[in-house]
Amino acid sequence: MVRFRMNEKGVRPSKPGDLVLDRRGRVIGTVTSCASDGEGYLVGLALVEQAAGIEEGSAIYTVALPKSMPELLRAFSPPGIRLLMPDAATVPARLPMRKG
Protein backbone atom coordinates (compact mmCIF):
# COMPACT_ATOMS: atom_id res chain seq x y z
CA MET A 1 0.00 0.00 0.00
CA VAL A 2 1.43 3.40 -0.98
CA ARG A 3 0.23 6.97 -0.63
CA PHE A 4 0.34 9.25 -3.64
CA ARG A 5 -0.18 12.93 -4.45
CA MET A 6 -0.93 14.11 -7.97
CA ASN A 7 1.72 16.48 -9.36
CA GLU A 8 -0.84 18.86 -10.91
CA LYS A 9 -4.18 20.32 -9.88
CA GLY A 10 -7.26 19.79 -12.02
CA VAL A 11 -6.60 16.22 -13.16
CA ARG A 12 -9.42 13.70 -13.39
CA PRO A 13 -9.99 12.11 -9.95
CA SER A 14 -8.98 8.48 -9.60
CA LYS A 15 -11.45 6.04 -8.12
CA PRO A 16 -11.12 2.58 -6.59
CA GLY A 17 -10.01 0.09 -9.23
CA ASP A 18 -8.25 2.62 -11.50
CA LEU A 19 -4.85 1.49 -12.74
CA VAL A 20 -1.44 2.51 -11.35
CA LEU A 21 1.56 2.45 -13.68
CA ASP A 22 5.32 2.73 -13.20
CA ARG A 23 7.47 5.21 -15.14
CA ARG A 24 7.70 2.79 -18.06
CA GLY A 25 3.93 2.41 -18.39
CA ARG A 26 3.70 -1.06 -16.83
CA VAL A 27 0.60 -1.78 -14.71
CA ILE A 28 1.80 -2.26 -11.12
CA GLY A 29 -1.41 -1.94 -9.12
CA THR A 30 -4.75 -0.26 -8.52
CA VAL A 31 -6.06 2.81 -6.70
CA THR A 32 -7.97 2.06 -3.50
CA SER A 33 -9.05 5.63 -2.63
CA CYS A 34 -8.56 9.25 -3.69
CA ALA A 35 -9.69 12.65 -2.41
CA SER A 36 -8.75 16.33 -2.64
CA ASP A 37 -6.44 17.85 -0.02
CA GLY A 38 -6.72 21.35 1.41
CA GLU A 39 -4.47 22.75 -1.33
CA GLY A 40 -6.52 21.39 -4.25
CA TYR A 41 -4.29 18.43 -5.11
CA LEU A 42 -5.61 14.89 -5.28
CA VAL A 43 -4.13 12.47 -2.75
CA GLY A 44 -4.84 8.80 -2.39
CA LEU A 45 -3.82 5.25 -1.62
CA ALA A 46 -2.93 2.48 -4.04
CA LEU A 47 -2.16 -1.20 -3.73
CA VAL A 48 0.96 -1.89 -5.81
CA GLU A 49 3.19 -4.89 -6.47
CA GLN A 50 5.98 -5.11 -3.92
CA ALA A 51 8.37 -6.10 -6.73
CA ALA A 52 7.81 -2.68 -8.35
CA GLY A 53 10.11 -1.15 -5.71
CA ILE A 54 7.96 1.92 -5.10
CA GLU A 55 9.27 4.04 -2.22
CA GLU A 56 9.27 7.67 -1.03
CA GLY A 57 9.82 10.05 -3.93
CA SER A 58 8.97 7.46 -6.59
CA ALA A 59 7.02 8.63 -9.63
CA ILE A 60 3.85 6.71 -10.38
CA TYR A 61 1.00 7.35 -12.80
CA THR A 62 -2.73 6.77 -12.54
CA VAL A 63 -5.22 6.01 -15.28
CA ALA A 64 -8.67 7.34 -14.36
CA LEU A 65 -10.89 4.85 -16.19
CA PRO A 66 -14.37 6.00 -17.27
CA LYS A 67 -17.20 4.95 -14.95
CA SER A 68 -19.00 3.41 -17.90
CA MET A 69 -16.12 1.01 -18.62
CA PRO A 70 -17.37 -2.53 -18.00
CA GLU A 71 -15.51 -4.61 -15.43
CA LEU A 72 -14.68 -7.08 -18.21
CA LEU A 73 -12.57 -4.41 -19.97
CA ARG A 74 -10.74 -3.63 -16.72
CA ALA A 75 -9.78 -7.31 -16.57
CA PHE A 76 -7.87 -6.90 -19.85
CA SER A 77 -5.35 -4.64 -18.08
CA PRO A 78 -3.39 -7.19 -16.04
CA PRO A 79 0.01 -6.45 -14.47
CA GLY A 80 2.69 -6.19 -17.13
CA ILE A 81 0.58 -4.70 -19.95
CA ARG A 82 1.68 -1.29 -21.33
CA LEU A 83 -0.68 1.67 -21.72
CA LEU A 84 -0.41 5.36 -22.72
CA MET A 85 1.10 7.59 -20.04
CA PRO A 86 -1.57 9.03 -17.75
CA ASP A 87 -1.51 11.61 -14.90
CA ALA A 88 1.72 11.83 -12.87
CA ALA A 89 1.87 11.50 -9.09
CA THR A 90 4.60 11.24 -6.46
CA VAL A 91 4.79 8.99 -3.41
CA PRO A 92 5.33 11.43 -0.48
CA ALA A 93 7.04 10.71 2.83
CA ARG A 94 3.66 11.45 4.40
CA LEU A 95 0.45 13.13 3.35
CA PRO A 96 0.65 16.95 3.44
CA MET A 97 -0.70 18.66 6.54
CA ARG A 98 -3.32 21.40 6.19
CA LYS A 99 -2.09 24.93 6.59
CA GLY A 100 -4.02 27.18 8.83
Kindly indicate the confidence band of residue 90, based on its pLDDT and cuts at 50, 70 and 90: confident
Kindly indicate the confidence band of residue 85, based on its pLDDT and cuts at 50, 70 and 90: very low
The total number of structural domains that make up the chain: 1
β-bridge mates for residue 21, sequence order: 27, 61
Query: Does residue 48 form part of some domain?
Result: yes
Q: What is the pTM of this model?
A: 0.74
Kindly indicate the confidence band of residue 87, based on its pLDDT and cuts at 50, 70 and 90: confident
Query: Does residue 85 form part of some domain?
Result: no
CATH code: domain of residue 8? 2.40.30.110
How confident is the model at residue 25, as a pLDDT? 86
> If we measure between CA atoms, which residue out of 25, 18, 26 comes closest to residue 74?
18
Render pLDDT for 50-63 as a digit per residue (tens, 0 to 9).
988 888 999 999 98
